Amino acid sequence: MHPEASGPTKPKPSDRTMRYGSLGLQLLLTIGAGAWLGHWVDQKLALRFPVFLLLLTFFSFGGAMYQLYRQLPR
C-alpha cells in the first residue's frame, strides 16, 4: 500500500504559512488599493475633507474581512 493512498494527510507547516501569508498580503493589497483610489478621487474632485478616502478604505476593509472569513476553515 502506498503512503499516498492511506487517507487524508495533514498539511505541511509550510503550506499553512503560505496560505495565511497570502491572506495577509491580500488584506494589505485590498485595503491599500481602496485607500489609494479614495485618495485619487478626492484629489481629482479637489475635496477639502477626504470623504472618498475614508469611504473606500472602510468598504475595502469590510470586503477584505468578509473574504478572510469565507476563506478560513471553520
Task: Supply the pTM of this predicted model.
Answer: 0.73
Question: How distant, in Å, are the alpha carbons of 3, 6, 19, 43 from that of 9?
Answer: 9, 8, 17, 52
Task: Identify whether the C-beta of residue 50 lies closer than 8 Å to the C-beta of residue 38.
Answer: yes
Per-residue pLDDT of the chain (74 residues; tens, 9 = 90+): 555 566 667 767 777 788 778 888 999 999 999 999 999 999 999 999 999 999 999 999 999 999 988 888 77
